A and B are shown apart, each in its own frame.
Chain A
Amino acid sequence: MNLELGFLLEKLNLPTRGKLVIDALSPLSMVSSLPGKYYRSQREPTPQMLYGLIENALGWHISDKERKELEKKLKKKFGMELEKSGVGFVSVLQFHLRFSTSVIPPLLHYDDLWAQHLKGGSFLGGSRNYDNQAIKIMNAERAKRIAIDDKGASSKNVDKLYNFQDGDKVHVNVVKPYFPQYYVSPTPREYVIPQGEYIFVAKTSENLAEMIKDAFENPAAPLYLGSNDGWVEARWENFE
């Protein structure tokens, strides 16, 4: 699909002021720092998260390669480095929409277990679902009749899927094709429940304000902040 983004390279003129109002529909977990073992949520979304929300609503789902090209063009035009988020997301909106003050509602915090998906060697214990062809060998492994590990001495023979004997050591690559790519590791994560609306005051161009307003009324994709089950409703109001 074609997106008309040429206006992003025009001269910067941000006369319109308005506010972005966000109403959370479920608990939010907005993590931007020190992740991995415990995910601590921000009290409010970072500007990068808000840019991501708006680009989502606008339907600007631009691939990495094209995004990098846009980044180069913007940097050349305006002579400034673009900020990126902790995971490397670079918003192309960041020069044309600037956030200033914000209002944070009172929050409830709690910790919960989050089903973190990981890809790696521990998939054996972390997947509830696997192909039915692996049932026989997995039952034997659970009953401790055979051992599945990644040691060099273990058998890599693919026949071992069905023709195994008690006491066998099978290499993990034999069963790997029958497991999903990602396994689940429940990880503690902090969630916040806002007891009210977030309000972010911003200034932008008239054109972009219209686009954003319309986008929120009819978003191109579900809107979320932080983790992708943190659904929100958002609207843009111009200050007259």
Chain B
Amino acid sequence: MKELLQNLVHPYSRYGLAVALFEAQMSLDELTRENVSEVLAKAIETGLENFRLMTDDNPQTAEVLRFRQIKKDDLLKDSKLVQSAGLANQGKYIAPSVVTTDGDAKGTFENAVDIVESLRKNISLDKTLDLSRSFAPTTAKINNGKSSQSPPKGNLFECACSTITTLTPIKPASLVNLSKKEGKVEFRNVVIIPDLPIVDLMDFLDLFQRMLTDSLKGNIMEVNINPEKAERKFTRPRIFNGNYPFAPRESAFGAVGLLAAIGKWGQRADQIERTKRVLESIAGNEKESGRPLYVISYNGIAQVQFTHHVARLAASGKLSDMIGAFAYQTRLYTDTDGTRPNHYSDNYKINYKLLSLMTGRFLQFFNQSAFQDFLAIRAEYLPIVEPLFKEYFMETKMIDREIVESARALGQWLNRAAFRVADSDVDDKYSEAERAKKIRQAKAKILVEFESAAMSATTPQDMMYRISTRAGRLLQMDMPAEATKFLDETLIGEKLKPKDALHLLIAYMRLRQNFEKSDRSKSAPETQIETIGANENSNNQVNIEDFN
């Protein structure tokens, strides 16, 4: 037994073993050559019970479709339920936690059944088998010293553990649009596997199982059908957006979204200690570095690694709200139409995607170059993300609190003043919507001019000079007294490096106020930012257009 365990080095197969132990409520020491085959076989069978989802409701008549798992015995009796053309059109979808495709579902299912049979026949766990991509997605055919390509080999133990990982519902999973191949969108099940030692994995599984249970108590196995639409067809239930609560819909956030969701769930479910422990095992703490998270789909595997800063933000529960703010409510400077960010407009789609990508990357690496890339896309940030900047500047860059607060005062003053000037410049002859758009454009123009001036300065002194002259010229006001500390420290240059000063200024300048009250608007509605709470519902709405 010991040699088998020693050689189980890959995180993918290790996760499967942990799932088997977790479901059997056993510890690693209790595993023996006598009981292990049955433990593994049971775990694979649990996975096969969660292979495909279907609904008994008809979209033509019902307004809510409720989905359930197809039983393993039904799948065994009718191979057409495992894989055949048109299953998706009948509303029989592969569960998001199964790492396979419509084209290889049969391979995954049949290989799993064969492995269970071998385990039940008590075939030696050392027996070599061909590894198949259908149950071990990190493998593919290679030459391995021979003249033709063949699949690599593993022993029955490793194959069984990998199969468990491929099938088990107890892992973070969602359906993601991975690529556009010749105009056709490609959706794949994407799962996240942490690379932790078995003991920590059991902790993670315990936590995730609770999150999964909570999630299932809600409505994630359902989807609403719009009765007014002409074509009423089968649509995927919400679980495909993420099988855990607070899953971000923007896939570019991926793994960091999982950490944030864990933190927020911990706050809500009053399980703070437990979530803190799991988050630290993944993202590390001040003394130990973290472990990678593997983002896995049938198409490919990538790893992501986080810093303990993200663990701290996640544990506080705030990270989830921040990601929500970035994904749904942050507006590009150039996007001035309407009241909400236009994520799907062809003009801005790519830049919004880039913003999500850069934000995700910054949350991952939490260093200066990642922050610079994040700042490269000009957008107005929501006040709720401020703790992120504080964590970065004070904990990572080690800048004194007073300097950061002073920079904040200056940046916020510039933002406010830019709005006031824009508001007073735009005529009130326009309609409400038109006026709001023009104010946004004018404000963006002013802020961009400050940013460009600061970025093209050659020395800190030059930067300060440019900012203050522009403040005088454009805003016709003097800078506030609270900004003095920041300005002085930038000029001295000892406690504050020029790049950090620039980043401080830009970051806080883009941070929006809570209220932007227009003085000249006729009916004077306050353009208040909607609270994040509203997004929890939109989080669970599946955008039906996505799956056409």
Contact = CB atoms under 8 A, between A and B. Distances in A.
Interface stretch (B6-14, B172-180, B385-393, B416-424): B6-14
Contact of B145 (A87, A109, A190): A87
Contacts of A39: 138
Given A40-B10, A109-B292, A111-B302, A34 B139 contact: yes
Interface stretch (B129-137, B376-384, B470-478): B129-137
Contacts of A116: 142
Contacts, number: 74
A111 B303 contact: yes
A129 to B, nearest CB: 19
A36 B10 contact: no
Interface string A11-51: 00000000000000000000011111111101000100000
A106 B292 CA distance: 14
B142 A188 contact: no
B139 A36 contact: yes
A190 B303 contact: yes
B148 A119 contact: yes
B107 interface: no
Interface of B: 7, 9-13, 131, 133, 136-145, 147-149, 151-152, 154, 158, 162, 289, 292, 294, 300-303, 305
Nearest to A182: B143
Interface in A75-120: 87, 106, 109, 111, 116-120
B143 A34 contact: no
B137 to A, nearest CB: 7
A36 B141 contact: yes
A95 to B, nearest CB: 16
B162 A34 contact: yes
Contact of A37 (B162, B292, B301): B301
The size bracket of the interface on A is 20 to 34
B301 A34 contact: no
15 contacts: A33-B13, A34-B131, A34-B152, A36-B151, A37-B139, A37-B301, A38-B300, A39-B138, A40-B10, A40-B294, A40-B301, A116-B142, A118-B142, A119-B143, A188-B301
A33 B148 contact: no
Given A109-B303, A188-B302, A35 B152 contact: yes
A38 B99 CA distance: 15
A89 to B, nearest CB: 11
Given A116-B142, A120-B149, A33 B154 contact: yes
Contacts of B143: 117-120
Contacts of B142: 35-36, 116, 118
Contact of B10 (A34, A106, A188): A34
A13 B510 CA distance: 72
Contacts of B302: 111, 188
Given A37-B300, A40-B10, A40-B11, 9 more contacts: A34-B138, A34-B152, A34-B162, A36-B139, A36-B142, A37-B133, A119-B148, A188-B300, A188-B302
B101 to A, nearest CB: 13
Given A119-B148, A190-B303, A34 B12 contact: yes
A37 to B, nearest CB: 4
B152 A36 contact: yes
Nearest to B154: A34
Contacts of A42: 9
Residue of A33, A40, A42, A87 with most chain B CB atoms under a 10 A cut-off? A33
B10 A120 contact: no
A33 B158 contact: yes
Nearest to B288: A106
Given A106-B289, A119-B143, A33 B301 contact: no
Contacts of A35: 138-139, 142, 152
Nearest to A88: B145
A109 B139 contact: no
